[in-house]
Amino acid sequence: MTPARPADKHSFPTPPSRVEEGVGTGTARLAILLSGRGSNMVALVQAAQTGALQGLAEVAVVFSNRPDAPGLATAAALGCATASLPSQGRPRAAFDAEAAALLQRYQPDYIVLAGYMRILSPAFIQPFAGCILNIHPADTRAHQGLHAYEWAFDNMLPETKITVHLVDEGLDTGPILAQQTVDLRGADSLAEVERRGLAVEHELYARALAALIKKTKGGHAEQREASRPLTNSDI
């Protein structure tokens, strides 16, 4: 998975998106962003290699705001190009603008957040508007932000919902692409809640992304159509 040739180091023009142009050939290029161990990244890479994303997507780069993130070494071992840029101590907008410029060099069609522990500013969102996906371990209409599994466990919920959504400039407010229920009955520890939730996350994210790519390549590139929540028949 060789990255596209970088642009001149002083110029990072936004590349055209082959998916948005409706070109029916080739694969969608993914930039996967993480801050930690990257279990969702692993699931997505494996899906691109042998699973639901095979023939539909390739991983252009795995990026982290933490150069020491364990997920970078894991991604490299899986054959992925990796990149990092330390965010600690940086003003949010300045870091996000630099990170966006770096990622544009890999010509991604989609930015896929996989445990990327930052709230994105407009400086990052605007260059990739409509092409940033996130997975959230709750129904985004019921709980936004961090600690969603803790929220479900503390409130003894009998079930929760994993949500895949597009990212806008709000906190977990973007259009919902897909959801799947997680049965939490009998889960007597936070670790068990997380185990059940992650099992759904790892499967749903790839299926939802595959469905979105297929729909876009099929001539539904308009944002309003791409943002329609996917049904069970779609994924």
pLDDT the model gives residue 17? 44
Tokens of 90: 């940086």
Query: pLDDT grade, residue 200 (50/70/90)?
Result: very high
E-state strands within 114-158: 132-136
**Whether the predicted pLDDT of 59 surpasses 50:** yes
Percent of all residues in the chain with a pLDDT value above 70, rounded to a whole number: 82
119 close to 173: Cβ distance less than 8 angstroms: no
| Residues β-bridged to residue 130 | none
Does the annotation count 202 as an active-site position?
A: no
pLDDT the model gives residue 217? 84
pLDDT the model gives residue 10? 27
Residues 143-150: contacts with CB within 8 Å, 24+ apart?
144/171, 144/172, 144/173, 145/171, 145/172, 149/190, 149/193, 149/194, 149/197, 150/190
**If you average pLDDT over residues 115-137, what whole number do you get?**
97
Q: Which of 136, 143, 165, 202 is labelled catalytic?
A: 136
Q: What is the C-alpha separation between 145 and 173, in angstroms, rounded?
A: 10
pLDDT the model gives residue 7? 33
Rounded to a whole number of angstroms, the CA Rg of the chain reads 17
pTM over 0.95, yes/no:
no
pLDDT the model gives residue 185? 98
Location of structure tokens 């544009």: 104
Domain ranges in the chain are 28-226
**Whether the predicted pLDDT of 101 surpasses 90:** yes
**Whether the predicted pLDDT of 16 surpasses 90:** no
CATH superfamily to which 28-226 belongs: Formyl transferase, N-terminal domain (3.40.50.170)
**Whether the predicted pLDDT of 182 surpasses 50:** yes
Specify burial of residue 9 (Cβ count, 10 A radius: 0-12, 13-18, 19+). exposed
Q: What is the C-alpha separation between 72 and 76, in angstroms, rounded?
A: 6
**If you average pLDDT over residues 144-155, what whole number do you get?**
97
